[in-house]
Structure 1
Amino acid sequence: MRYLIGETNWKMVTLSKAVADSGLLRTSCEAGEELADFHRMGQHDLLVLEASQLGRHVSLADLRAQRPDVPICLIASAPAPERIAHWLMAGADAVIEDTAALPEALARLSAVARRAHGVAHPLVERGPLLLDLERRRAHLGEVTLSLSPKLYEILEFLVLRPGRLAARDALLGHVYGFENEPAPRVFDVYMCNLRAHLQSVGPALKIETVRGAGYRLEVNERRKDARPLAA
């Protein structure tokens, strides 16, 4: 998954680094006045910002209107219960105190992000595929797939949207953020390699290319035993 994080003070920078160290993708925004633009243009699963930025550069109403499908987590310093209730009613999905230990904060962020995709816990099953969101691993039966970070991110993006069309631009934006995207042929090679890893289960799990539009993960719930991909 990818988080958009407003790195507007040292505590937010520390949290952002912990997110990156955990293996998650992140898009960092150091200027509060640019956060709304980053949110509008980016492809991320969660927005994390300091509560003190509200009213100065952004508003929950505007952020929610821009991307109603993206959950919002606020990091706040000793917030009063009334203030927390106000933020939640105004559009925030969670409020985390900035004194929370990093493991707790990361777990809370992860829970909010995955539940926005309708996933209750870190283990996601799609037909013969088991995806471990916490350990960032994919399993086909007894076989653990040897995926590069890029291949894992592509697979995770599709797994969290089963049967839905994933636009090519959205997928590229998610995997690369605002970095330079690869040449089209390079991304085609990634997709080819990912399909090769999944071919052992045949029609039980396949990535369909919708010409001119994007990709779709098709799942046949009838399970088959997976065979390791030959080296």
Structure 2
Amino acid sequence: MKILVVEDELRLARLLKKGLEENAFAVDICHDGEEGLYMAETSPYDAMVLDVMMPKMDGFTLLSRLREQNIQTPVIMLTARGEVESRVKGLNSGADDYLAKPFDFAELLARLTALIRRSKGQPASQLCIADLHIDLNAKTAGRAGVNVPLSAKEYAILEYLVMNKGRVISRTELSEHVYDMNFDLDSNIIDVYINRLRKKIDKDHPRPLIQTRRGEGYIIVEDP
């Protein structure tokens, strides 16, 4: 899934990007509210991690502007202030969750994963299609009871396909949700990863799950 981190503390922003990428997220970062608003308006994100106190535009204003435009990207707000009034203001502005600094990264990761899961209509932490199982918390996959070792990017692509099972996903949509803004849309890397996933997920199984729709993209289906 693709995350936007809007945080003016440069060191914290870098640490969040590094930690999230190590957990199979694609991450864009920016350091002020105006740039954050522009990025959230012009690119699709699965969730945002949004600081409250920022230059040019504070997090409350940024979030209110997004909600006024009916941009319903799930948002976790970060703040150094722990007062009830601040938490209430964030939630009233349209935030989905709230975390006070300093925080443990593991807690942020768990909250973010749960938030995305709920926003995608996946209340459970396990996704299943046929005999393929994905653990959204552990970021692991298995088929027919056998663990399938995947790289972070292979897992991210598989997770997105399974979360959207039965729907054709274009290469552009896949790249927008599993790569950051620096991805080259002319690259064939998505096709390379799909081929790797087929070898790991479908090889030696009588029922292939990952299908190609020529000229459209990819789809994962339970009954080919």
Task: Place the TM-score, normalised by the shorter chain, in its bin.
Answer: 0.7 to 0.9
The one-letter code sitting in structure 2 at the alignment partner of 1:47 is M
Q: Which residue of 2 aligns with 1:25?
A: 26
| Structure 2 counterpart SS, 1:84 | helix
Q: Which residue of 2 aligns with 1:50?
A: 51
Tell me how far 1:131 sits from its aligned partner.
0.9
Question: 176-185 vs 152-161, which deviates more?
Answer: 176-185
Tell me how far 1:194 sits from its aligned partner.
1.9
* Matching of residue 202 in structure 1 with residue 206 in structure 2: yes
Query: CA 1:80–1:54 in structure 2 vs 1: closer, same or farther (change >3 Å)?
Result: farther
Query: CA 1:65–1:140 in structure 2 vs 1: closer, same or farther (change >3 Å)?
Result: farther
Query: CA 1:178–1:160 in structure 2 vs 1: closer, same or farther (change >3 Å)?
Result: same
| Structure 1 counterpart SS, 2:137 | coil
Tell me how far 1:98 sits from its aligned partner.
1.1
Q: Which residue of 2 aligns with 1:227?
A: none
In 2, Cα distance between equivalents of 1:34 and 1:217: 35
Q: Percent identity?
A: 29
Q: Which residue of 2 aligns with 1:114?
A: 117
Cα shift readout 1:61-85 (whole Å, capped 9, x = no counterpart): 3223556342011002224323322
Question: 61-70 vs 29-38, which deviates more?
Answer: 61-70
Question: 103-112 vs 48-57, which deviates more?
Answer: 48-57
| CA contact 2:33–2:54 (8 Å) conserved in 1 | yes
* Matching of residue 158 in structure 1 with residue 161 in structure 2: yes
Q: Which runs of 5+ in 1 are unaligned?
A: 222-231
In 1, Cα distance between equivalents of 2:21 and 2:153: 14
Q: Which residue of 2 aligns with 1:226?
A: none
| CA contact 1:46–1:113 (8 Å) conserved in 2 | yes
Pairwise mapping of residues 81-230 of structure 1 onto structure 2 (< 5 A)?
Answer: 81-181=84-184, 183-199=186-202, 200-203=204-207, 206-220=209-223
Query: CA 1:211–1:40 in structure 2 vs 1: closer, same or farther (change >3 Å)?
Result: farther
Cα shift readout 1:128-168 (whole Å, capped 9, x = no counterpart): 11112233221002322233332222111111111123232
In 1, Cα distance between equivalents of 2:99 and 2:192: 41
In 1, Cα distance between equivalents of 2:68 and 2:215: 28
Tell me how far 1:92 sits from its aligned partner.
0.8
| Structure 1 counterpart SS, 2:138 | coil
| Structure 2 counterpart SS, 1:52 | coil
* Matching of residue 36 in structure 1 with residue 44 in structure 2: no
Query: CA 1:201–1:40 in structure 2 vs 1: closer, same or farther (change >3 Å)?
Result: farther
The one-letter code sitting in structure 2 at the alignment partner of 1:33 is E
In 2, Cα distance between equivalents of 1:210 and 1:181: 22
Query: CA 1:83–1:18 in structure 2 vs 1: closer, same or farther (change >3 Å)?
Result: same
| Structure 2 counterpart SS, 1:219 | coil
In 2, Cα distance between equivalents of 1:152 and 1:27: 19
TM-score normalised over the length of structure 2? 0.83
| Structure 2 counterpart SS, 1:202 | coil
In 1, Cα distance between equivalents of 2:104 and 2:159: 27
In 2, Cα distance between equivalents of 1:127 and 1:86: 44
The one-letter code sitting in structure 2 at the alignment partner of 1:158 is L
Tell me how far 1:127 sits from its aligned partner.
1.9
